[in-house]
Structure formats: C-alpha cells, structure tokens
Amino acid sequence: MMKLYGYFRSGTSHRLRIALNLKGLEYEYIPVNLFKEQHLQPEFKAINPQGLVPVLEVDGLRLFQSPAIIEWLEETYTDTPLLPEDSFGRMRVRALSALVGCDIHPINNRRILQYLRKDLSVDEKEVQAWCHRWINDGFTALEKHLAEDKERGDFCYGNKPTFADCYLVPQVYSARRFNVDLTPYPNIVAVDEHCRSLEAFIKAEPENQSDAF
C-alpha cells in the first residue's frame, strides 16, 4: 500500500489527499507534525532532504513535490482522469492550478509565515495582512477566470473534478483560517461548497485526519 507522509493542515498534503481519493487509491497516512517541527528532524530529512510534506512512498520509490506527484498519479492511474481530454482544457486546468499552487500558496505557507514571525519579528496583525494581500490578489484573478467561463459546471473547469479543484479547496480552507472575507468571490465559494459535498473531498478535509487537533 502507498504511504503518504503529511500534515493535516498542510495545503499541499490536503490537495494530494483529494487527488488520491478522487483516483480511488488506498494509502497509509503517516502524520508528520509540523507544529512540533518533526519535518526538520533527521528522521524525516532522510525521507525528504528538503524537509517538506507531502511525500508519497510507492513500491520503494519516494515521490515529492505535490504538483509532480499529482501529475504522476494522472499518468499512472488513468481510469479516473483529473485532466480534460483536449489540450486547451488541460492547459486551462494546469493554469488555474498554478495560480493557486505557484502564486498564492507558497508565499502564505507555514515556512514563510514562521520566517516573518521569528526571523523578521513581524507581529501577528501584519502577518494576517500579508496573508490577506496575496490570497485576495490571487482570488480576485481566479474569480474573474471562473466567471468568464460560461461553459463551466459546478467545478473550476467543466463538469467533473480536476487538478484545479484539488488546489482550490485547500486554499479556500486556508483563507477561512486567516479570516479572509470571501464575499467578493461567489464563484470560488460555490465551487468549494460543491466539491466539499463529495466523499473524496470530505475524506480529505483536515479535520478528518488522524493527526487533527
């Protein structure tokens, strides 16, 4: 069975759990407590020298970096595709995913926020303002993309879950944690609500993981 090293609140772990669930794949979940900095200990650095989650272990191989892992899953387990069949659709889904995965999440993840707090002595109000700035910038653009796609169903693209939904739902979860006002983003909220009614997304929610606290 696959082994997934992750953390319940990690957005990258969350998105990978969604993808695994949508593919119908079973895995053993191995928590790595970021709060206690287990990811920085030699035991985990031996698994991923970068000290980041998630890591997916499959048949002795250790896969790292969630975008690459999700692409690998798509190429390896083809029965439940998470990309459209046409090249434009695949580009569109990858672009929406990158909007979250490259331009919002990395500058608001725990590693960056801890650096702001500890190394630069930024107070919590300013940390919140930092998070709000970049989440709002990204969500403003994403909301416009969703609103302009008149052929879109209940998801980010088309009528079934794709990579983009795997990326979006954890980011909305994070936005709520940081008390971002989601009122300006009705399409994002609607996609999130629809996705979170589906079993694959419910099972992946942070509160439903064994390490949730």
Enter the DSSP assignment of 35. T
The amino acid at residue 90 is: R
User: What token pair was written down for 21?
Assistant: 């669930």
Encode pLDDT of 39-81 as tens digits.
999 999 999 999 999 999 999 999 999 999 999 999 999 999 9
User: Which pLDDT value is given to residue 88?
Assistant: 97
User: Which pLDDT value is given to residue 184?
Assistant: 98
Q: 3-state class of 36 per DSSP?
A: coil
Domain ranges across the chain: 2-80, 87-200
User: Which pLDDT value is given to residue 49?
Assistant: 97
The CATH code of the domain at 2-80 is 3.40.30.10
Residue 165 CA to residue 59 CA, distance in Å, equals 28
Fold observed for domain 87-200: Glutathione S-transferase Yfyf (Class Pi); Chain A, domain 2 (1.20.1050)
Nearest C-alpha neighbor of 105 from the set 72, 66, 56: 66
Residue 203 CA to residue 151 CA, distance in Å, equals 28
The mean of the pLDDT values for the chain is 97
Encode pLDDT of 92-149 as tens digits.
999 999 999 999 999 999 999 999 999 999 999 999 999 999 999 999 999 999 999 9
- Provide, rounded to the nearest whole percent, the portion of the chain with pLDDT above 90: 99
